[in-house]
Amino acid sequence: MTTAPQEAENPLLNITDLIDYAAVRPEHVMPAVKKLAADLEKALARATAPETPATWDAVVVPLEEASLAFSRSWGAIGHLQSVVDTPALRDAFNEALPLATDLYLRISQDEALYRKYLGIEKSDAFEALSPVRQRIIRREIRDFELSGAALPKEKRERVKAIGQELSQLSQKFSENLLDATNAFELILPDESRLAGVPAETIALYRASAKAAGKTGLRLTLQFPSYLPAMKYCADRGIREALYYAFSTRAAEFDDGKYDNTPIIRRILELRREEAELLGFKNFGELSLATKMAKDPAEVLAFLRDLAKRSRPRALEDAGEVNDFAKKTLGIDEVEPWDRPYAAEKLREARYSYSDAEVKRYFTQNAVFAGLFRMVETLFGIEIEEKRTSVWHPDVKYFEVKREGKLIAAFYADLYAREGKRSGAWMDGERTRRRLPDGKLVTPVAYLVTNFAAPVEGREATMTHDEVTTLFHEFGHTLHHILTAQEEAQVSGINGVEWDAVELPSQFLENFAWEHDVVKAISRHADTGESLPDELFKKLIAAKNFEAGAFCVRQVEFALFDMLLHAEFNPKTDSVPALLDAVRKEVAVVFPPKWNRFPQSFAHIFAGGYAAGYYSYKWAEVLSADCFSAFEEEGVLNPKTGRRFLTEILERGSSRDAIENFVAFRGRKPELDALLRLSGIVDAPQASKKD
Ligand code: ZN
């Protein structure tokens, strides 16, 4: 068979080792997606054919080859669309999107494939499979069953219909929230009522008015507009008006045009029905079936313990703000719209330092060199920059070696530019695995951030915030590329429980707050000096400011979310009453009666966090507790580093996250390290050592 010349020239199809990114054009997208989707369809048909034996080699292997080929190209296309978007590329991506979405969905619900997996599990040969392969088969079966594949036809159809209705309701929830947010504006003729607001925010208000065809200044409920006003605007009336508008969004007020109240109830009813159809008592149980936490009771106990232990500090935090507001700002009764303002004034009075001053110390080359040296010491690797074909001249490519042998690689795309999505993230480009012929495929990752590009002739510098972001994403990167797994489904971050996947990233972030590390990664742009101790102390103090108050707020949201999905009856119970009860139990400050927080809680009604909001704190506990082992044994102790590598980073999802944790730490997770590292409880006085 001869290959069409276009195919041979398509860099998305013609992948031998690395993708030739510089050669990818929008016109390559559709032909590549069509060809690889057709290959995958063929593999699926073969795997599910009646005459195909239910064995690992006949079903799993060929399907996986086709599926990985498809997802690698499709992943690369999605990546390019995120980082070097052009109208032509976006059109090509959007043209291919329905094809890819539909294909993935069909495979995940394919009943014949589900039967083949069941067949493998029931066969005599199953016991002869490696424990990891047995785990993969069982997990696939679980996932099929969670999408309703095992139910009789009528119920299966109902699960599908619920899924569709839920996705429409989530979409409507987001739209209402967005429309309600956009419907508000506050127009001011001049700056006279904006004393205290930073000049760049004032400029934003002016630009916003101009863009809307108004004169003067325009304040909205979008975060870049809303947050600085709440934090800095000295005029109490402005803050109150904004707060009222913000916290009554998407509710019954203003004709209820964007009211999310009935949507919330319907979502909760459908989730409960879905959970019951799938054999669970409630949606909380269904959500946790794929997570590290066992059941709602475990999550509730965790949250309540955290609340109990952080509440004293939260009460202190709130009291301090009240006292300061009274004495210094002349506010006797601190209302919710005063709190961010008063807290910011207190923070400035106590820990003032300038971000710009700190930034001069974190020159980018020093930060990267220091970070690389640190992980090289901890995990026994070498990182080396190499040249290869990339999608933008600023992109760097690094090889990772151990004892001189190539084990992985990653691309670093660091700078903000037009056509690049904002934020920072890591994505797997290629997964580590052993091919049927015995050859090893090494993993590749994308590390993406949006730091400011260096100005011609000057070295780039980073805020400490950006440094922690880099450490965070580098933690994800290491998790993906330092895996030792040889089956794609358990390799790197694949299949890692959702509430444990932030462990390595948050873990690495802790190092950016460690004195020795900060010394090693800082080098002043002019003087070459590392960050002075005095500035470092201020950084730490400012980080821990209001930690108690922040923690109980997160617990309030998480507890509300879990109770809503585990114990709440959507047919008879009241959402506001539940939220009131949660606040009485854990909160230290109380919003006014007209606050409609649930109507804008998009994480759980329009995002993926339903019965999962606790994950933020859950993963923080794990990461802080892992980091505390380094504090005990030496922050840069290679022995501790190797243990973290072999028990956690290398394991992927080849065993449960809790087993990884216990193997590393020698015990179950405890809250103490998080409470200490976030400044909620004081560290015990260290005995003097040199
Ligand atoms: Zn993360």
The CA-CA-CA angle for residues 662, 666, 668, to 5°, reads 50
Length of the chain: 690
User: If you measure from the C-alpha of residue 674 to the centroid of ligand 1, how many angstroms do you get, rounded to a whole number?
Assistant: 17
Respond yes or no: is residue 473 known to be catalytic. Answer: yes
Q: What's the token pair of residue 389?
A: 């074909």
Integer Cα distance of 614 and 326 in angstroms: 35
pTM score, whole prediction: 0.90
SS3 249: coil
User: If you measure from the C-alpha of residue 501 to the centroid of ligand 1, how many angstroms do you get, rounded to a whole number?
Assistant: 8
Write down the pLDDT at residue 423.
Answer: 87
Integer Cα distance of 133 and 56 in angstroms: 8
**pLDDT (mean) for 256-278:** 97
**For the segment 18-74, what is each residue's pLDDT rounded down to a tens digit?**
999 999 999 999 999 999 999 999 999 999 999 999 999 999 999 999 999 999 999
Q: Find all residues with CB under 8 Å of 138, minimum gap 6, and list them.
A: 121
Q: Which residue has the tokens 């195919």?
A: 7
Write down the pLDDT at residue 357.
Answer: 87
User: If you measure from the C-alpha of residue 502 to the centroid of ligand 1, how many angstroms do you get, rounded to a whole number?
Assistant: 5
User: If you measure from the C-alpha of residue 678 to the centroid of ligand 1, how many angstroms do you get, rounded to a whole number?
Assistant: 18
The CA-CA-CA angle for residues 201, 204, 207, to 5°, reads 155
Write down the pLDDT at residue 690.
Answer: 41
Question: Which of the following is catalytic: 64, 274, 466, 473?
Answer: 473
**pLDDT (mean) for 197-212:** 92
**Of 461, 397, 393, 451, the residue nearest 422 (C-alpha):** 451
Q: What's the token pair of residue 240?
A: 């109150």
Residue 688 pLDDT more than 80? no
User: If you measure from the C-alpha of residue 347 to the centroid of ligand 1, how many angstroms do you get, rounded to a whole number?
Assistant: 27
Contact 324, 345 (CB under 8 A): yes
Contact 428, 491 (CB under 8 A): no
Question: How many Å is the maximal CA-CA distance in the chain?
Answer: 85
Question: Which of the 8 DSSP states describes residue 96?
Answer: H
Write down the pLDDT at residue 369.
Answer: 97
Question: Which of the 8 DSSP states describes residue 523?
Answer: B
Write down the pLDDT at residue 638.
Answer: 97
Q: Find all residues with CB under 8 Å of 50, minimum gap 6, and list them.
A: none
Write down the pLDDT at residue 687.
Answer: 41
User: If you measure from the C-alpha of residue 505 to the centroid of ligand 1, how many angstroms do you get, rounded to a whole number?
Assistant: 6
φ/ψ region of 493 (left if φ > 0, alpha if ψ in -120 to 50, else beta) reads: alpha
The letter for the amino acid at 489 is: Q
Neighbours of 47 (CB within 10 A): 23
Phi and psi of 263, rounded to 5°? -65, -40
User: If you measure from the C-alpha of residue 657 to the centroid of ligand 1, how many angstroms do you get, rounded to a whole number?
Assistant: 16
The pLDDT-based confidence of 457 (bands split at 50, 70, 90) is confident
Residue 7 pLDDT more than 80? no
**For the segment 377-407, what is each residue's pLDDT rounded down to a tens digit?**
999 999 999 999 999 999 999 999 999 999 9
Rounded mean pLDDT of the chain? 94
Contact 638, 380 (CB under 8 A): yes
Write down the pLDDT at residue 607.
Answer: 82
Backbone CA torsion sign across 327, 232, 248, 339:
negative
CA 378 to chain centre: 25
Write down the pLDDT at residue 682.
Answer: 79
φ/ψ region of 516 (left if φ > 0, alpha if ψ in -120 to 50, else beta) reads: alpha
**For helices 61-83 and 87-108, what crossing angle results, to 10°?**
150
**For the segment 601-639, what is each residue's pLDDT rounded down to a tens digit?**
999 999 889 999 999 999 999 999 999 999 999 999 999
**For the segment 639-675, what is each residue's pLDDT rounded down to a tens digit?**
999 999 999 999 999 999 999 999 999 999 999 999 9
User: If you measure from the C-alpha of residue 438 to the centroid of ligand 1, how many angstroms do you get, rounded to a whole number?
Assistant: 33
**For the segment 298-318, what is each residue's pLDDT rounded down to a tens digit?**
999 999 999 999 999 999 999
SS3 588: coil
User: If you measure from the C-alpha of residue 656 to the centroid of ligand 1, how many angstroms do you get, rounded to a whole number?
Assistant: 19
User: If you measure from the C-alpha of residue 126 to the centroid of ligand 1, how many angstroms do you get, rounded to a whole number?
Assistant: 36
Q: What's the token pair of residue 685?
A: 């006085």
Write down the pLDDT at residue 683.
Answer: 67
Per cent of the chain over pLDDT 90 is 87
- For 361-385, give the DSSP string: TBBHHHHHHHHHHHHHHHHT-EEEE
Residue 168 pLDDT more than 70? yes
Integer Cα distance of 319 and 588 in angstroms: 10
User: If you measure from the C-alpha of residue 477 to the centroid of ligand 1, how many angstroms do you get, rounded to a whole number?
Assistant: 10
User: If you measure from the C-alpha of residue 177 to the centroid of ligand 1, how many angstroms do you get, rounded to a whole number?
Assistant: 25
**Of 364, 689, 357, 406, the residue nearest 538 (C-alpha):** 357
Distances (CA, A) of 328 to 292, 321, 322, 342, 546: 47, 10, 10, 9, 18
Q: Find all residues with CB under 8 Å of 452, minimum gap 6, and list them.
A: 415, 416, 460
Write down the pLDDT at residue 612.
Answer: 96
- For 115-180, give the DSSP string: HHHHHHHHSGGGGGS-HHHHHHHHHHHHHHHHTTTTS-HHHHHHHHHHHHHHHHHHHHHHHHHHHH
**Of 608, 609, 610, 606, the residue nearest 275 (C-alpha):** 610
Integer Cα distance of 479 and 504 in angstroms: 7
Write down the pLDDT at residue 5.
Answer: 56
φ/ψ region of 483 (left if φ > 0, alpha if ψ in -120 to 50, else beta) reads: beta
Residue 557, Cβ density class (10 Å: 0-12 exposed, 13-18 middle, ≥19 buried):
buried
Distances (CA, A) of 246 to 226, 344, 387, 576, 594: 9, 19, 49, 18, 11
DSSP H helices in 233-295 = 236-247, 261-277, 283-288
User: If you measure from the C-alpha of residue 476 to the centroid of ligand 1, how many angstroms do you get, rounded to a whole number?
Assistant: 7
Q: What's the token pair of residue 356?
A: 């710009």
The pLDDT-based confidence of 269 (bands split at 50, 70, 90) is very high
User: If you measure from the C-alpha of residue 528 to the centroid of ligand 1, how many angstroms do you get, rounded to a whole number?
Assistant: 31
